[in-house]
Amino acid sequence: MLLMKHMKNDQGFSLIEMLLVLFIVIVVSSIVYKVTYTISEKQAVEQFFNQVQLDIQRMQALAIEEKKTINVLFSDNNTYKAYYSLDGKKIFERSFPSIVQLNIYSNLKNIVIYPNGEVVNFGKIIFYTPFGERQLIVNIQKGRMRIVDAK
């Protein structure tokens, strides 16, 4: 009899039940937010490194096409730019994402590309990301490069 009376009660949910449901919703939402935020940060970092590689390759092709020497300079203010060596005319300038920082002690900050497409200087440019240190390693002559996760 008491059970039937309780089942017919239409007063709604108690405050504790509502708080419990609200707590569960907030916990699940915060977990989803953290996961998606981390994924979007990783994508931004990957996109940046792909863009840097493509920009350097584009400058090699442009140097060959226009038969001019081109510099790609990585600055300490977290930007990189390409310009013609002789007249200093800027080709482009891009900034790093806010989560990527250049190591000011990298042994390569200026990549010089000759009119035949060869790179004179070689070395590595070190970047700090939230996911660890990444290095852009540029090889001598043909300017082949690779991205390495430094441990």
The pLDDT score that the predictor gives to residue 135 is 92
Look at residue 46 and tell me if it is in a domain.
yes
Look at residue 82 and tell me if it is in a domain.
yes
HSE (side-chain half, CA atoms, 13 Å) at 50: 6
Look at residue 13 and tell me if it is in a domain.
no
- Compute the C-alpha angle 114/63/141, nearest 5°: 40
Q: Is the pLDDT of residue 80 over 90?
A: yes
pLDDT band at 6 (very low <50, low <70, confident <90, very high): low
CATH classification of the domain holding 43? 3.55.40.10
pLDDT band at 96 (very low <50, low <70, confident <90, very high): very high
Residue 88 CB neighbours (<10 A) = 8
Q: Which residues does residue 127 pair with via DSSP β-bridges, in sequence order?
A: 102, 134
Look at residue 145 and tell me if it is in a domain.
yes
Look at residue 83 and tell me if it is in a domain.
yes
Domain coverage including residue 80: 18-149
**Tally of domains in the chain:** 1
Look at residue 8 and tell me if it is in a domain.
no
Separation CA 109–CA 114 (nearest Å)? 16
pTM for this predicted structure:
0.77
